[in-house]
Amino acid sequence: MDRILVKVDNIAAKKWRFASEEKKDELNNAINNIIKKALDKNEEDFWQFLDRVGKQAESNGLTEEVLNKLLNEE
| 12-24 pLDDT per residue, tens | 999 999 999 999 9
pLDDT band of 10, cuts 50, 70, 90: very high
- Between CA 28 and CA 30 the distance in angstroms is 5
- Between CA 25 and CA 47 the distance in angstroms is 24
pTM of structure: 0.54
Rounded to an integer, what is the distance from CA 40 to the centroid of its chain?
17
Closest of 32, 65, 35, 66 to residue 49, by C-alpha: 35
pLDDT confidence of residue 33? 86
| 21-69 pLDDT per residue, tens | 999 999 999 989 888 887 776 656 777 878 888 888 888 888 888 888 8
Domain range list for the chain: 20-72
